[in-house]
Amino acid sequence: MTWRSTGVAAATIAPGALRAVLVGATPIVLAATERGITALDASCPHLGGELADGTLADVRLTCPLHGAVFDARTGEVIADPFGLEPPEGGVGPVRVYPTRLVAGIVEVDAP
């Protein structure tokens, strides 16, 4: 594992908030779910929408461009923009990265 600091204190991310960060050369979005902070690729695999500009309700992360919905814990598709339920549809999952807190700072296992 290659743990990298995001430079973001967990206490500064309110529940339900999304925050874009750059970890090394990897754009990531931090999602503060009611179950903890998760880290995902920053772009929607559908058309590249910036997920940090989307909405987060519990673990449901919705892309701002076309409404694809992902589970912020697993990256799995909950609903694609065409209303099709997985495994149907044309949208793939979002990559998720392990997170941990070190001295209150979010670290991500990212390339």
Q: What angle do CA 75, 52, 59 make, to 5 degrees?
A: 40
- Kindly report, residue by residue over 71-107, the tens digit of the pLDDT: 999 999 998 887 777 767 778 899 999 999 999 999 9
**Of the ranges 54-58, 66-70, 102-106, which one carries the lowest mean pLDDT score?**
66-70
Domain boundaries, the chain: 3-109
Q: ∠47-18-54 over CA atoms, to 5°?
A: 35
At the second CATH level, the architecture of 3-109 is 3-layer Sandwich (2.102)
Query: Roughly how many angstroms between the first and final C-alpha of the chain, as a whole number?
Result: 9
Q: What is the pLDDT of residue 99?
A: 96
More confident residue, 20 or 1: 20
pLDDT on residue 73: 95
